Amino acid sequence: MRPRPTKTTFDSDGVKLAYFDERPENSDAEPVLLIHGFASNANTNWVDTGWVKDLLAAGYRVIGFDNRGHGESEKLYRIEDYGAPLMAEDARRLLDHLTIPRAHVIGYSMGARISAFLALAHPERVQSLVFGGLGINMVRGMAGTGPIAHALEAPSVDDVKSQAARTFRVFAEQTKSDLKALAACIRSARAPITAEAVATIAAPVLVAVGDGDVVGGPAPDLAALIPGAEAFVIEGREHMKAVGDRTFKAATLDFLARHQL
């Protein structure tokens, strides 16, 4: 297995965030920014699933970071310290820190939502977008965040009765996450993304969601709202199992190749 990249930190408006920046031999490689999902981290979402290896092999510069409250980044415990628009500014500041004017952006689940806010607030910074694990529920919103927060705050996983919420608690424990920080994150004000807003996204978009993903909702339904967007249905996959799917990677690499800087 490829060793995990070495992470360093940068200051995002007073919040210390951990990131890696992996480059192929080609010094002119196009940058790809990876934004992970809730309760995950850059290593779990992108390194362990083979994304970093495959993107490097395809000749891309690969940047991944741990969202605030996640992984090796600073843990915050106030609800107002989270929210996708704020976390999108973390992504933008990382691009600033690395002096990257424009990048391809791949987000999974919560990371897809953050990517959408990045594209809406700073369209000039986004060359192309891949929304993984989040389809039509991007504009419908996510139900059941209260039970997930309660599950994260429960004394133990055995106290969690909701199977859906229990899945998040189990995953958070597997990733050795700070449960209190994640509870604040999931409770954060969920700024709405309307159908009208996503229709203004100018960058090329690929929406890729598993056919059994009830968290993200169908990919074609979201793609239909975004002019020129493409949909890819990841066959036989639900939300937690689609991230490293080889067909998802192949579709993404094909999409990136067609939308070079």
C-alpha triplet 96, 101, 107: angle, nearest 5°: 80
C-alpha triplet 90, 134, 42: angle, nearest 5°: 45
Say what the pLDDT of residue 1 is.
56
CB atoms within 10 A of CB 155: 7
Domains of the chain: 8-257 (3.40.50.1820)
Length of the chain: 261
Regions of the chain short of the pLDDT cut 70: 1-2, 142-144, 189-190
Dist. CA 227–CA 202, nearest whole Å: 8
Say what the pLDDT of residue 143 is.
59
DSSP reduced 3-state for 112 = helix
| DSSP character string of 142-211 | ---HHHHHHHHHSSSGGG---HHHHHHHHHHHHTT--HHHHHHHHHS------HHHHTT--S-EEEEEET
**Angle subtended by helix axes 84-97 and 110-121, to nearest 10:** 70
Say what the pLDDT of residue 81 is.
96
Say what the pLDDT of residue 119 is.
98
φ, ψ for residue 31, nearest 5 deg: -80, 140
Dist. CA 144–CA 139, nearest whole Å: 15
C-alpha triplet 139, 200, 261: angle, nearest 5°: 115
CB atoms within 10 A of CB 151: 26
CB atoms within 10 A of CB 152: 26
Q: Taking the chain, what is the end-to-end CA distance rounded to the nearest angstrom? A: 31
Say what the pLDDT of residue 2 is.
62
Dist. CA 86–CA 84, nearest whole Å: 5
